[in-house]
Structure 1
Amino acid sequence: MDLNLNGKVALVVASSQGLGRAIAEELVKEGANVMITSRDREKLQIVKQEIEQLGSGKVTYIKTDITNPEEIEQLIKATNEQFGKLDILINNAGGPPAGSFDSFADSDWQQAFELNLLSYIRMIKHALPLLRKQGGKIVNIASSSIKEPIPGLILSNTFRTAIVGLSKSLAQELAADHILVNTVAPGRIATDRITYLDEVNAKKQGITRVELEQKVKTTIPLGRYGTPEEFAKVVAFLASDGNTYMTGSTFLVDGGMVKAI
């Protein structure tokens, strides 16, 4: 299938590693021009050099703290100045710390809110004037906790779920502007974030991370962790012209792990 991404312009947030990087790579392979961003300038320089070799799409970057509203505004402005338009916004952010309700202070909740929900809202707000010019796609990355809360991740469970409500509401409000909005939720995808969570849970259970990973795999019908590339292909499809009639939906990429209907 030709996704018709050649020449499209995409902004992929939190894209110097993990799922964000994998999505940027997939879009570049399909011919899209991609703005990558994170708080680590050195990583961005390396990622740009590596992924621009993968396809015909152009890659540029700007260092951005997505909890800073002024830097978000500058990011959108820089994307437009570099490429002259914006067709695709991929909202993404690193997960908040693991822990129980009693372990977090108000400041922890505020930080998680600003990183994992308010950054998405601000990014969309500033991107909309560009997206409205020709229509486009917004894909919000969440977590499998939107369907089945994950023990020990109350911050993520709270704010990732809110992303679904945001996406569903925006899908209705922006349909007239030909902007499609969807949510994609990863399960156990092999990234540094999952390694961190496995280490936390393994320590709690008094076992090694490898032993914990083997236990988790028994709960996944496909019997393995997913790869970032597998996740990225789903996002690329939703962001492409291959998707013309799906909006307001939530998609799990989890190997069948989540049991909720």
Structure 2
Amino acid sequence: MATENSRTPAPSGELAGRRAVVTGGSRGIGAAIARELLDAGAHVVISARGEAPDAPPGAVFVPADLSTRDGVRHFADTARELLGGVDIIVNNAGGCRSFQSVLELENDWQYTMDINFLAAVRLNAALVPAMREHGGVVVHVSSIATVAAYPNLLHYAAAKSALETYSKGLSAELAPDGIRVVSVCLGNVETPASKTARTRIVELHGGDADDLTGQWAAEIPLGRLGDPRDIADAVRFLVSPRASWITGSNIVIDGGKTASLC
């Protein structure tokens, strides 16, 4: 019987020579995606706000704060210079800083929109026009918060909902140019960021972080939190020639969580 540890190897070299950028690529899901693209033969440039001691070997790290226009511009210009052009864009940067009532989060709304939605809009605007000449793939990383609408995450859910709508519309515009655009809608994945989130939630609302982890896992039909490799495997497929007829889709990767909400 197959388990999460018995993964079918993807074709080696299927992205040989392709040039990819992965935002938020220094750890967690972004780092796992970068590793998969490197393993497939791609040249990869990643971004993160601070230092990147855990950046995947072989990836080129560019420090940049993508919640700002200047940060996006700096990253786009540097990536273009390093790679000589871009074939694959993975807009993975995101997250939220607060887990309180949205009525108390006026200052966080703009940041949440900037990093989860506008960072992708701005990066695409900088890099996609040149891709019209040769085609490519754009991936947007979203969240099942758009479906579940958790009360303390409405600012995050609203930003990701905007991203999904934008992704679908962009796919229709760019399809005639041979550019595919997809989004992946993620459930609870075990990452450094998710551990930090659980700690903050417990600090605000009480309880135990380990108990909360168990509760989240119990709510998933497949019985566990996601692994970053679950997401990276899917993204590798979506940016590869094996997915050449997939565009405009929002792929849910959540262990069955949202199916149980219907």
**TM-score with structure 1 length normalisation?**
0.90
Match in the other structure for 2:112: 112
> In the TM superposition, what is the alpha-carbon distance from 1:108 to its structure 2 partner?
1.8
169-178 or 71-80, larger mean C-alpha shift: 71-80
The answer to whether structure 1 residue 249 and structure 2 residue 255 are counterparts is: no
What does 1:1-261 align with in structure 2 at a 5 Å threshold?
A: 1-2=10-11, 4-40=14-50, 42-43=51-52, 46-48=53-55, 50-52=56-58, 59-96=59-96, 97-105=98-106, 107-203=107-203, 206-259=206-259, 260=261
C-alpha contact 1:99 1:154 (8 A) present in aligned 2: no
* CA distance in 1 between partners of 2:112 and 2:16 (Å): 35
C-alpha contact 1:98 1:154 (8 A) present in aligned 2: no
* CA distance in 1 between partners of 2:34 and 2:199 (Å): 27
> In the TM superposition, what is the alpha-carbon distance from 1:205 to its structure 2 partner?
5.5
120-129 or 149-158, larger mean C-alpha shift: 149-158
> In the TM superposition, what is the alpha-carbon distance from 1:203 to its structure 2 partner?
4.4
> In the TM superposition, what is the alpha-carbon distance from 1:84 to its structure 2 partner?
1.6
CA-to-aligned-CA distance 1:133-158 (integer Å, 9 cap, x gap): 21000000111112221231111111
> In the TM superposition, what is the alpha-carbon distance from 1:71 to its structure 2 partner?
3.0
C-alpha contact 1:26 1:232 (8 A) present in aligned 2: yes
SS of match in other structure, 1:98 = coil
* CA distance in 2 between partners of 1:71 and 1:152 (Å): 28
Percent identical pairs in the alignment equals 30
How many equivalent residue pairs?
250
AA matched with 2:42: A
The answer for unaligned runs of 5 or more in structure 2 is 1-9
C-alpha contact 1:38 1:64 (8 A) present in aligned 2: yes
C-alpha contact 1:139 1:181 (8 A) present in aligned 2: yes
The answer for unaligned runs of 5 or more in structure 1 is 53-58
* CA distance in 2 between partners of 1:208 and 1:71 (Å): 37
CA-to-aligned-CA distance 1:217-253 (integer Å, 9 cap, x gap): 2211111111101111111111111111111111111
Match in the other structure for 2:7: none
C-alpha contact 1:4 1:242 (8 A) present in aligned 2: no
* CA distance in 2 between partners of 1:218 and 1:204 (Å): 22
> In the TM superposition, what is the alpha-carbon distance from 1:131 to its structure 2 partner?
1.5
SS of match in other structure, 1:67 = coil
C-alpha contact 2:113 2:156 (8 A) present in aligned 1: no
> In the TM superposition, what is the alpha-carbon distance from 1:11 to its structure 2 partner?
0.3
> In the TM superposition, what is the alpha-carbon distance from 1:193 to its structure 2 partner?
2.1
* CA distance in 2 between partners of 1:128 and 1:138 (Å): 9
Match in the other structure for 1:55: none
* CA distance in 1 between partners of 2:113 and 2:213 (Å): 29
* CA distance in 1 between partners of 2:61 and 2:205 (Å): 41
AA matched with 2:250: T
